[in-house]
Amino acid sequence: MSGENGSDSPQGRRAFLWSASTVAMAGGLAGSYGTFAVMAGRFLYPSATGGKAWQFVAEAHRINPGEAMMYQAPDGSLVTITRQGNEAEAKDFLALSSVCPHLGCRVHWESHNKRFFCPCHNGVFDPGGSPVSGPPADAGQSLPQYPLKIERGLLFIEVALGDIDNRRA
């Protein structure tokens, strides 16, 4: 009989259950506090973003003078790229944020008026992104500009890469 050696005795079972529950509780606490510590560390000490890089936009000759095209950067930023000159040089192109600095509404290029327009509060920006009228002009808020370059007839824009690696997970 196994009861005589003490392996099936109530004290043996209690000791086993107490040990097992203590180990399970300690493991649960360690896991939850560890998860909390990792999340707090990421919040208090965020990792550096992906930095900036030159991204291909289009062949320069494909954008006609006075026309605009939309570009979405890897970090999700919306950019309007307009061609304002006749040459195929970087100075003939302009890349401005498509987001109004007033309330974050979408700004679009009106080629017939040669201006950027925000329909939310009738905000108007000149072809260089400077405010002309509406709330952005009252607050002196210009559209942020992005650097451009042309290499071998190809148009490139310098944009923030964002946290691209975390999107793959």
DSSP letter assigned to residue 56: E
Q: Which of 100, 133, 127 is nearest to 114 (CA)?
A: 127
pLDDT higher than threshold 90 for residue 31? no
Q: How many CB atoms lie within 10 A of CB 92?
A: 17
Q: Where are the beta strands (DSSP E) in the chain?
A: 52-59, 68-72, 78-83, 93-97, 108-110, 115-118, 123-125, 131-133, 145-146, 148-151, 154-160
| Paired strand residues for 52 | 160
Residue type, 97: S
Could you tell me which residue, 146 or 166, shows the higher pLDDT?
146
- Here the tokens at position 2 are 């196994």
Q: How many CB atoms lie within 10 A of CB 148?
A: 21
Q: How far is CA 22 from the centre of its chain?
A: 44
Q: Where are the beta strands (DSSP E) in 10-152?
A: 52-59, 68-72, 78-83, 93-97, 108-110, 115-118, 123-125, 131-133, 145-146, 148-151
Average pLDDT of the residues in 16-31: 86
pLDDT tens digits for 115-155?
A: 899 998 899 999 889 999 999 999 999 999 999 999 999 99
This prediction has a pTM of: 0.64
Could you tell me which residue, 3 or 17, shows the higher pLDDT?
17
> For the chain, what is the mean pLDDT?
84
Average pLDDT of the residues in 32-55: 80
Average pLDDT of the residues in 87-111: 89
Antiparallel, parallel or unpaired: β 78-83 and 131-133: unpaired
- Here the tokens at position 143 are 């559209």
Give the per-residue pLDDT at 7: 56
